[in-house]
């Protein structure tokens, strides 16, 4: 959901680099997902902590609302930051336009991903939760 919403929102806002907006939306969703998940080992009743995995619960219907919200927020933030002239990298005149466009969007993408990583870290440290669980609890 997040990359589709990012691409569609970028299209509606007439943003020039729609694919980058979709990538930033997807990366923001992955950044916001929990770092540790508990899995049940086959044949046992004991749960083990797994770090760095993406569970189907967070990617499926539970994560759909998070994908919609993160897709909208991340894309809107990325588009706004991409319009700031001071955040663009000037490579000169001899550089192809596609390469120049990618570098112009690099700093806004890094800032957007850093913002969502900071939110994820704050929720994890201070709230002992993650955004997907928080959204799911609020909706239910």
pLDDT tens for 54-73 read 777 777 777 888 889 999 99
Q: What is the gyration radius of the CA atoms in the chain, in angstroms?
A: 18
3-class secondary structure, 44: coil
pLDDT at position 59? 77
Query: How long, in residues, is the chain?
Result: 140
What are residue 47's DSSP bridge partners?
40
Segment 91-120, tens digit of pLDDT: 778 888 778 877 888 999 999 999 999 998
Report whether pLDDT(90) > 90: no
- For residue 54, give the DSSP letter: -
Q: DSSP state, 38?
A: E
What is the pTM assigned to this prediction? 0.84
Contacts of 88 by beta carbon, 8 Å cutoff, 6+ apart: 104, 107
Q: Look at 24 and 136; give whichever has higher pLDDT.
A: 24
Q: Which of 11-20, 25-34, 82-91 is the least confident region? A: 82-91
Closest by alpha carbon to 139, among 54, 56, 69? 69
CB 22 within 8 A of CB 35: no
Residue 2 backbone dihedrals phi, psi, to 5 degrees: -60, -50
Q: Name the nearest CA neighbour of 37 among 25, 21, 48.
A: 48
- Specify the higher pLDDT residue, 44 or 121: 121
Domain that holds residue 109: 2-139
> How many C-beta atoms surround the C-beta of residue 108 within 10 A?
21
Count of the separate structural domains present in the chain? 1
């Amino acid at each position: 959901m997040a990359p589709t919403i990012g691409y569609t929102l970028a299209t509606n806002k007439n943003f020039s680099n729609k694919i980058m907006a979709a990538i930033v939306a997807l990366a923001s969703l992955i950044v916001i997902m929990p770092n540790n998940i508990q899995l049940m080992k086959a044949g046992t009743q004991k749960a083990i902590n797994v770090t760095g995995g993406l569970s189907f619960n967070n990617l499926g219907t539970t994560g759909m609302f998070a994908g919609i919200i993160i897709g909208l927020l991340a894309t809107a933030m990325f588009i706004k930051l991409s319009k700031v002239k001071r955040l663009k990298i000037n490579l000169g005149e001899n550089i192809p336009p596609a390469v120049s466009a990618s570098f112009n969007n690099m700093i806004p993408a890094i800032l957007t991903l850093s913002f969502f990583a900071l939110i994820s870290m704050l929720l994890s440290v201070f709230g002992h939760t993650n955004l997907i669980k928080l959204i799911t609890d609020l909706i239910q």
